[in-house]
Structure 1
Amino acid sequence: MRLLINRKRMRRVGWQMAFCGLGWAALLLFSCGEEAAEQEVGSFDGEVSYNFDIRPILSDKCLACHGPDANKREAGLRLDIAEDAYKALKESPGMHGIVPGKPALSEVYLRITTSDTSLLMPPKSSNLRLTGEEVELIGKWIEQGAKYEKHWAFVAPKKSQLPKVKDESWPKNEIDRFILAMQERKGLSPNPEADRERLLKRLSLDLTGLPPDITMMDDFLADQSPKAYEKVVDKLLASPAYGERMALPWLDVARYSDSYGYQMDNFRTQWPWRDWVIHAFNKNLSYKDFITWQLAGDLIPGGGKEQLLATGFNRNHKITEEGAVDEEEYRISYVTDRSDTFGKALLGVTMECAHCHDHKYDPVTQKEYFQMFSFFNNVNEMRAVYTAIDPSVGKPEAYAKKPMMEITDADAKGILDFVNKQDTARLIVSVMGDLDSLRKTYVLQRGIFNSYGEEVQAGTPRSILPFDPEYPKNRLGLAKWLFDKRNPLTARVFVNRMWQEFFGRGIVKTVGDFGMQGELPTHPALLDWLSVDFAEHNWDMKRLVKQMVMSATYRQSVVVSADKRNADPENIYLARSPRYRIPAEFVKDVVLASSGLLNRQIGGPSVKPYQPEGLWEGATAGGDGLLSVYRQDHGPDLYRRGMYTFVKRTVPPPSMAIFDASNRDLCEVSRQKTNTPLQALVMMNDPAVLEASRVLAARLLQEKKPVEDKITKAFRQIVCRKPTARELAVLVEYYAEEQKAMTDAKAAKSVMLGEYPLSKVDRKQLAVLMRVISTIYNLEEAITKT
């Protein structure tokens, strides 16, 4: 019953006014108290949890006036801390907000149950109301002792016993037992497994970002062994494309781009760091090392150039190139970005809310914010470093901000052989490097960069985990704190983000906010079990991914009945597989891979594919800077994966922006998923899609097979399954109609877009088949995970 009630609490409706003015006249208090004392608290059975039952109600309806914000607190009553809630009221010393075990003597309960609308809380002016169910829960909680609990996310996870389920035949691993147990409680049952074609497409897109080819499809369909699915999983996990797919969301987290941002948005060379991220995922570097190297690779005893390169993570933030700026003001903004990224990406806490004042909702003070800030405040930062630039090709020999490292030809052939260095020009990357002396850190009053308050030392929020004095007070010590087995957030946050990657939403929906204002976990025991298991197995990322995709939960069909949609419209309980459009970069990858155009080269500099003319020029404030004019690439660079598309922060790639790609201004842990007419227009008119349609059509025309076979093959390559008889009939009929209509050779030539050389095939036939293939690319299923 509690879990059913929990879901009704999960949506936040804002922090409005409530419980205002608790100063009662004694006569009113006693009369209302006697009236309330006669009421029954309710018939709720079971133990009421503060974290999962009461805290969401208080957060929604009460804490705006009785919470952490002292400036807005009414009647001196604070309800989010036990000691304050229990103590005598300031305005009425004989009264108490909450008296454990005694609802009839608790001012809170009296005010939420009174029939006097002038005294009822929340007040009418707040436009908030407690439901009867919520009143009953609060009363029962007080009756049971009004026990407060530390916020669930700030308590170290524990590995609970696996739940018992009625249907023992369904679970394939531990994940399924948690999912099924919840479904059975809710009267739901899981979907059957998806058919093999759709399952393979889902798996290939999720593990590589690419569609399966026809050979892989045929092999999987033919393999009837019990291990067939696992063999495909292992093959895809071992693919070099796995590292590219896993790197993509991390580029959003790390705010990677190819320009510095701000008005003078010029070129930067950070792509070798991106090459390292791909390499780290492919060699399955442990999450502990993956993060430690990025935070503090320059401080690791005995660390080398690979560890130093990893610290480019901290230097991916925006950097100004304007002349007349206050250097210290912008330096503080860089440190702020690093600190806030650390909080959001690795802790799942909105640390930035404590930059100007104590956090309004989470137990993080402004002093603690700047103690965390100090770990990133000692970087020896300097302004621009320029060397020779050849504007004709738009590639500089070196362009970075100190501190920096140079990647030599010897490095690229040796210790950094994963870096795709394509020429002998100087290659310089911004990395981390601290000053020889310690820069002092102060609380910045109201967050103003030059308004110094109290001096602080490096430290961490006590509510999460006090900083161990044995750890060095630098970024390496911060990494040790992050992976301290007592840290309650590190494993949870990463496991939750990985769950989002494969199931569409996190177990905690607010993947960047595990704090008081974040959503409650839908399956808290599962999240904790996976988190502990992840840490116990040496933070093995590939193992975690395999656990998720091997589960029966992951393998379900997406088909949804009306009953299931009504019972669980958001698919919270995963009684079906989620269906949603693939990320923007993968849309391009599907088009290129299915047409045979994809350049599978791993790593290297970013590329500039087709783009509408004039976008950069119309939005550039950089005068004659290197990126003031868009110089499109040609040849194989046109057909590189979407993740290698050049990202200019002030003018991000337009087609990808339309498909919800990040502009990489700030750390982003979750992309929006929208469905707009503009996306359809991109698929119908993007030169890359039309070129792919032409190239695939030309290749199919060279095969001496009936048109039905050609269309079937195109459908399989794009949609990744065989068309139904009805689908094939519709496409063949469309082909016949276009063949009749295509009488003009000029019209046929006008659709031959793209730079890829034209094949020696009949132009009219090419144009007709191209239109059919373009139609297949425009099917929703072509770019949807099903």
Structure 2
Amino acid sequence: MLRHLSYILLILLVTFLSCSEKGPESTRLTSGDQISYNFHIRPILSDNCFACHGPDENKRESGLRLDNAEGAYAALKENPGAHAIVPGKPAQSEIISRITTTDETAKMPPSESNLKLSPEEIDLIKKWVKQGAKYEPHWAFLPPVKTSLPTISDPQWVNNEIDYFVLAKLDKIGLQPNEKADKMLLLKRLSLDLTGLPPTEELMKSFKEDESEEATEKIIDKLLDSPSFGERMAVLWMDISRYSDSYGYQDDNIRTQWPYRDWVIHAFNKNLPYDKFITWQLAGDLMPNPTKEQILATAFNRNHKYTEEGGVIPEEYRVEYILDKTNTYSKAIIGMTVECAQCHDHKYDPISQENYFEMYAFFNNTPEQGYEGDVSVSKPAKHPIMWVEKEDLKGILNFVNHQDTSKIMVSVMEDYKDSLRRTFVLDRGVYDQPTTEVFPSTPKSILQFDESKYPKNRLGLAQWTFSEENPLTARVFVNLMWQEFFGAGIVRSAGDFGMQGKLPTHPELLDWLAVDFQESGWDVKHLVKKIVSAATYQQSATSDKKKMESDPDNFYLASYPRIRLNAEHIRDMILASSGLLSKEIGGPSVKPYQPEGLWEAATSGRGELAEYRQDQGDKLYRRGLYTFIKLTSPPPKPIIFDGSNRDVCEVSRNRTNTPLQALAMLNDPLVLEASRVLANKLIGEGKEYEEAIQEAFLRIICRTPKVEEFELLKEYYQEELKRFKQKPETILETVNAGEFPLDQYSNSPETAALMQVVVAIYNVEEAITKT
């Protein structure tokens, strides 16, 4: 059996290539090209020089600053007759002398730094200095501009504006885009991207039969209108908002923030404009006459870890909570790693420690405490709180899925009404080392905080965030959406648009989309539809030797990238294709199958979560979005498939290939149970084994099997059928997986054999990969 199973997997396996961490070439240079500081020189200096010669004054060596023209052109502190850079004169520029010398005592970067410039990098710096050493403001701090569409080689290929920018780049590097993907593969891709679920057989049939020019647009609109769209988008936002069902730290007891998750699903389905979506989360409680929905949205700020342990210093943990709020806002909403400035001025970006605590001040006026007292039983929420009551469920909070009559406590935001907590720069970021007093503000390098326009509170921060002049907000979200559909953003460091972040592969496209997003009224579904309607998105995932050699990481999208599904969507695919999926939306988190002893090994032994109590019935078949997240012991299968730990804000996930993933797919009780249930259903409907195999393949892979695939699967079925007929005592042991009830067809050799075939299909790489 194992020999044949391995043979099937080998034949059907399609290699998945993970994205490389190596950055893209910003351009293909020729001898006459102008060298750009932003796209050619700054990345070299940032990686090799800014730690000692950058924005951090306290760590600056020899008084030399290379991150701006004023510092680089100035006379050297230790040698006033010399200059690091003399525009147009490489021979007189000390930087050229230092990076080319063979004298180890003078060479830069110094040998002890373990940094070394390549000959190509040295040559770029020489050319840049010769061309005038022109500095440019950091690209991400300049407002985006909607440039005119570029001239391209094949206007017939494009579907919308996105394709002009992509094809222009491909024209420059001598590559051609792929043809449109196979119709059924495109449907699978769209369905997984827009709902997190594979297409139903009915949807596959109707799309296949629709030969109109509007067929794809109609299916996109149908999927965007599906309630599953909000659930799919909420997976990303739960990572960003560090949603969990417990508090973390040692006791790690239960919390009740799940009505916030219901709100996120509702907001995406309702297509709440992004500016409102974020403003309510940052400062819904500060809106004029705030509704309970707006206040509930502020739970976003309160999803961080909380200690429930006696003996802690309350102020220490209160400060930790405000730091988390500040870091989450900056990383997720404006794409900056400001946490680097908590202890000292940022070494790479023009953000001082004072700037950091000015941002911190926006979140520092809440009556939230660091520790609420010695409690033997965990409170479901921490103050400030909001009660979700029965009458709310019939009114403004009718999207909250609460089946019983009890009230729910949710941690939300609130500010002191009649006083203002003072904020100080903390020496080295230590909670009990206040120094200079600061007031709410934002880094001037990004955009000046206009006190005449904005109140100095979280609502003012939200208004600043969505100012027409803010250069980051629209770019960051557009990039997140691009990352969701292409596996990597136009800027591959989605949480870092600063000096150390990756350069955009298509800067003009990023800016065009950012401005278009703003012009649409921050319409999320408009943005999503624009992306998935593009020919760039709809092209096939096949590649060839030339493309692999010219662009091995597919930075320039000459083909659609092959992307393994997120952990939650792997679970959802298995449940949906087998017919087990519960379609209930929202509500409390559930506890599916999990190996024994995991929780008990990572707990203090106190409280409601000291012991894992698996759910029963339909709760076992809820979508992956609803799986209970205990911070000290996150669910194992999502972690195996690179799910977020949820202890801090995450804007992107790794995609790894490990043996554990293969073992999980082969042995997970859910996979075995789903295989048995699907096999049982097909046998119960009276289908012959050939038809049953074809239908199982269609439901899981979303296409009909090729001739050679079909022959292998039939051969495998016959082999397994023979084995089970010879050893009928092994049938029950095989099919008795999971808790879905057995029936009259379950204990037959035909069901057991078909079950093994379905397991094999689930283990084909294509089953868990967008192609």
Q: CA deviation at 1:77?
A: 2.0
Q: Mark the CA change 1:425 to 1:385 in structure 2 (over 3 Å): closer, same or farther.
A: farther
Task: Name 2:702's counterpart in structure 1.
Answer: 720
- Describe the shift of the 1:624–1:247 C-alpha distance in structure 2 as closer, same or farther (beyond 3 A): same
1:37 corresponding residue in structure 2? none
Q: 736, 756, 760: which is aligned to 1:771?
A: 756
Indicate the residue corresponding to 2:474 in structure 1: 491
State the distance in 2 between where 1:749 and 1:306 align: 51
- Name which of structure 1's ranges 264-273 and 137-146 shifts more when overlaid on structure 2: 137-146
Contact 1:295 1:475 in 2 (8 A): yes
Aligned residue in 2 for 1:306: 293
Residue 141 of structure 1 and its aligned partner are, at CA, apart by 2.2
Partner in structure 1 of residue 136 of structure 2: 149
Q: Aligned to 1:244, which of 223, 231, 241? A: 231
Q: Deviations over 1:622-665 (max 9, x none)?
A: x3310000011001101100110000000000111111111100
Query: Are the equivalent residues in 2 in contact too, given 1:386–1:399 (CA < 8 A)?
Result: no
Contact 1:347 1:489 in 2 (8 A): yes
**Unaligned runs of at least 5 residues, structure 2:** 1-21
Are the counterparts in 2 of residues 54 and 137 from structure 1 also a CA contact under 8 Å? yes
Quote how far apart the aligned CAs of 1:50 are.
Answer: 1.0
The aligned counterpart of 1:626 is: 608
Q: Residue 628 of structure 1: SS of its match in structure 2? A: coil
Higher RCO (CA < 8 A, seq sep 6+): 2
| Mapped partners of 1:698, 1:684: distance in 2 | 19
Instruction: Render the CA deviation track for 1:490-535: whole Å, top value 9, x for unaligned.
Output: 0010000110000110100000100011111111110011001100
Q: Which moved more, 1:238-247 or 1:377-386?
A: 377-386
- Distance (whole Å) between structure 2 residues aligned to residue 223 and residue 540 of structure 1: 28
Aligned to 2:488: 505
Aligned to 1:15: none
Amino acid at match of 2:444: R
Task: State the one-letter code of the partner of 2:740.
Answer: Y
Distance 1:320 1:247, change over 3 A: same
| 2:68 is aligned with 1:81 | yes
Pairing partner for 2:738 from 739, 754, 761: 754
Pick the aligned partner of 1:291 from 255, 275, 278: 278
1:472-507 Cα offsets, whole Å, 9 max, x none, are 000000000000011110001000011000011010
CA drift of 1:68 comes to 3.0
Between 122-131 and 640-649, report the one with greater CA deviation. 122-131
Deviation at 1:432, TM superposition (A): 0.6
User: SS of the counterpart of 2:572?
Assistant: helix
Matched, 1:429 2:413: no
1:706 aligned partner: 688
Q: Deviations over 1:90-121 (max 9, x none)?
A: 11111111122322222222333456666444
Q: Which residue of 2 aligns with 1:689?
A: 671
The letter for the 1-side match of 2:607 is G
- Deviation readout 1:698-743 (Å, 9 max, x if unpaired): 1100122321100000000011110011111111111100111113
CA deviations 1:384-442 (Å, max 9, x no partner) are 599998xxxxxx9x721111111111111111100001100121111111112111101
Identify if the C-alpha distance between structure 1 residues 626 and 353 changes in structure 2 by more than 3 Å, giving closer, same or farther: same
Q: Distance in 2 between matches of 1:311 and 1:69?
A: 34
What amino acid does structure 1 have at the position aligned with 2:610? S
Render the CA deviation track for 1:170-206: whole Å, top value 9, x for unaligned: 1110000000000000001001111011111111000
Counterpart for residue 785 of structure 1:
770
Give the equivalent residue in structure 2 for 1:353: 340
The one-letter code sitting in structure 1 at the alignment partner of 2:629 is V
* 1:549 alignment partner AA: V
Contact 2:539-2:559 within 8 A present in 1 as well: yes
Q: 1:589-617 CA deviation, whole Å, 9 max, x = no partner? A: 01100010000000000000111111111
- Residue type at the aligned position of 2:408: L
Paired residue type of 2:274: Y
Identity %: 60
In 2, Cα distance between the equivalents of 1:276 and 1:388? 31
Q: Specify the alignment match of 2:191 in structure 1.
A: 204
Listed as ranges, the matches of 1:174-193 within 5 Å are 174-193=161-180
Separation in 1 of the partners of 2:26 and 2:219?
41
- Going from structure 1 to structure 2, the CA distance change for 1:136 and 1:585 (only over 3 Å counts) comes to same
More displaced 10-residue stretch of structure 1: 730-739 or 78-87: 78-87
Does 2:559 align with 1:572? no
Cα deviation digits, residues 685-710 of structure 1 (max 9, x gap) = 11111111111111100122321100
1:227-250 CA distance string (max 9 Å, x none): 000000000000000000011100
Residue 623 of structure 2: aligned partner: 641
Structure 1 position 62, deviation (Å): 2.8
Structure 1 residue 72: Cα displacement = 4.6
Residue in structure 1 matched with residue 712 of structure 2 by the alignment: 730
C-alpha contact (below 8 Å) 2:47/2:500 kept by paired residues: no
- What secondary structure, in the 3-state scheme, does the structure 1 residue paired with 2:410 have? strand
Greater CA drift, 324-333 or 742-751: 742-751
1:411 aligned partner: 392
Does 2:536 correspond to 1:553? yes
Alignment partners' CA distance in 2, 1:387 and 1:99: 67
Instruction: Give, in whole Å, the separation in 2 of the partners of 1:277 and 1:340.
Output: 20
Alignment of 1:449 with 2:431, yes or no, is yes
- Code of the aligned partner of 1:204: S
Q: Shift of residue 223 of structure 1?
A: 0.5
- Report the count of equivalent residues: 743
1:379 to 366, 379, 386: 366
TM-score with structure 2 length normalisation? 0.94
TM-aligned CA deviation for residue 84 of structure 1: 1.2
* Conserved? CA contact 1:680–1:778, under 8 Å: yes
Q: Which amino acid aligns with 1:524?
A: P
Q: Does 1:166 align with 2:148?
A: no
Q: Secondary structure at the match of 2:216?
A: helix
8 Å contact from structure 1 (residues 694, 766) kept in 2 = yes
1:8 and 1:179, CA in 2 relative to 1: closer, same or farther beyond 3 A? closer
Closer/same/farther in 2, CA of residues 294 and 125 from structure 1, 3 Å limit: closer
| Conservation of the 8 A alpha-carbon contact between 2:23 and 2:502 | no
Q: Is the Cα–Cα contact under 8 Å of residues 266 and 625 in structure 1 kept in the other structure?
A: yes
Name 2:460's counterpart in structure 1: 477
SS at match of 1:406: strand
Q: Are residues 43 and 424 of structure 1, via their aligned partners in 2, closer, same or farther at CA, if it must alter by over 3 Å?
A: closer
Deviation at 1:67, TM superposition (A): 2.4
For structure 1, the 5+ residue unaligned runs are: 11-41, 390-395
Higher mean C-alpha deviation, range 98-107 or range 734-743 = 98-107
The one-letter amino acid of 1:541's match is: V
**Which amino acid in the other structure matches residue 338 of structure 2?**
M
Task: Indicate how the Cα distance of structure 1 residues 164 and 495 shifts in structure 2: closer, same or farther if over 3 A, else same.
Answer: same
- Contact 2:401/2:586, CA 8 A, preserved across alignment: yes
- Specify whether residues 65 and 324 from structure 1 end up closer, same or farther in structure 2 by C-alpha distance, changes over 3 A only: closer
In the alignment, is the contact (CA less than 8 A) between 2:602 and 2:633 conserved in 1?
A: yes
Q: Is the 8 A contact 1:273 1:310 kept in 2?
A: yes
What amino acid is aligned across from residue 68 of structure 1 in structure 2? P
Q: CA deviation at 1:71?
A: 4.8
Task: Name the amino acid aligned to 1:314.
Answer: N
Counterparts of 2:113 and 2:374 in 1: how far apart (Å)? 58
In the alignment, residue 565 of structure 1 is paired with which amino acid?
M
Q: Is the contact made by 1:44 and 1:140 (CA closer than 8 Å) also made in structure 2?
A: no
Q: Render the CA deviation track for 1:55-81: whole Å, top value 9, x for unaligned.
A: 112123333333234455443322112
Alignment match of 2:310 (pick from 307, 313, 323): 323
CA RMSD in angstroms, aligned pairs only: 1.9
